[in-house]
Amino acid sequence: MTSGWLSWVRANDVEIMTLLQNQASILVKAASVLSESISDFSTLKENNTTLKNLEQEGDQLTHKLFTIIDKTFITPLDKEDISELTSAIDQVLDSTYGTSDKLVLFKIQKPSLHLQELVTLLVTAAEGIYKGVSELHKGKREKLLIHSKAISKCEHDGDSVYRLAIANLFETHDAIDIIKLKEVYETLENALDRSRDVADAIEDVALKYR
């Protein structure tokens, strides 16, 4: 197909694409709130409540999307592609909130440099996800692939930071701190891993509907 393959969208199509974009927008907000918490730990508890609300709002959008595509005979993208996109975005959001929640639960007193680096990558990935999802209805294959690669790069860079963070962590001698921070790192790294799933879904769409 030529570019603009979604220019004919119907009413349900517009609703589906808008919900996906709203879901991605919530993810950007959540990543930014987590970044603020890491920059200023005094905001952590208050921001954790905000993140919980954003996570619940994201869950509602995910549920609504599944309900709509279940009842819609023809969708703007394959139902499997929509399901994969909304599920992956929801999982990134879950892990974003989960990171904050564990910081509060484990009473982490201050962030590490590696934690800051990982959160910065998550914010960049979330912004890339929003751009990619916003581009879906335009059907510009080249731009979709650019956004997909940018998101994947964040995940790749995050793997390197995560490995270094774990290596440095085990150079310490406080077993309890090791366990706590390892849990936080793993949850944050999982958010980046799931963002790669979103990138893969966007790439699949770009290649399928060219």
The total of other beta-carbon atoms located within 10 Å of residue 203's CB is 19
Of 40, 33, 24, 156, nearest in space to 97 by CA: 33
Burial of 177 (C-beta count, 10 Å sphere; 0-12/13-18/19+): middle
- Tell how far CA 173 is from the center of its chain: 33
Backbone φ and ψ for 38, nearest 5 degrees, come out as: -70, -35
Q: Angle at the Cα of 124 (from 118 to 130), degrees rounded to 5? A: 135
Of 41, 22, 34, nearest in space to 121 by CA: 34
The pLDDT value recorded for residue 209 is 65
pLDDT in tens, the chain (210 residues): 444 444 434 556 778 889 999 999 999 999 999 999 999 999 999 999 999 999 999 999 999 998 888 776 556 677 888 889 999 999 999 999 999 999 999 999 888 899 999 999 999 999 999 999 999 877 678 899 999 999 999 999 999 999 999 999 988 778 888 899 999 999 999 999 999 999 999 998 888 765
Q: DSSP strand E in the chain: where?
A: none
Query: pTM for the whole thing?
Result: 0.90
CA separation for the pair 14, 94 (Å, rounded): 26
Query: Which superfamily does 11-208 belong to?
Result: Phosphate transport system protein phou homolog 2; domain 2 (1.20.58.220)
CA distances for 144 relative to 22, 137, 182, angstroms: 18, 10, 34
Q: Would you state the structure tokens that stand for residue 4, as one six-digit string? A: 């603009």
Domain ranges, ordered by start, for the chain: 11-208
Q: Would you state the structure tokens that stand for residue 86, as one six-digit string? A: 């909304």
The pLDDT value recorded for residue 6 is 46
Three-class secondary structure of residue 118 per DSSP: helix
CB 92 within 8 A of CB 194: yes
Q: Could you tell me which residues come within 8 angstroms of residue 113 by beta carbon, excluding any fewer than 6 positions away?
A: none
The pLDDT value recorded for residue 5 is 42
The pLDDT value recorded for residue 208 is 79
Q: End-to-end alpha-carbon separation of the chain, Å?
A: 5
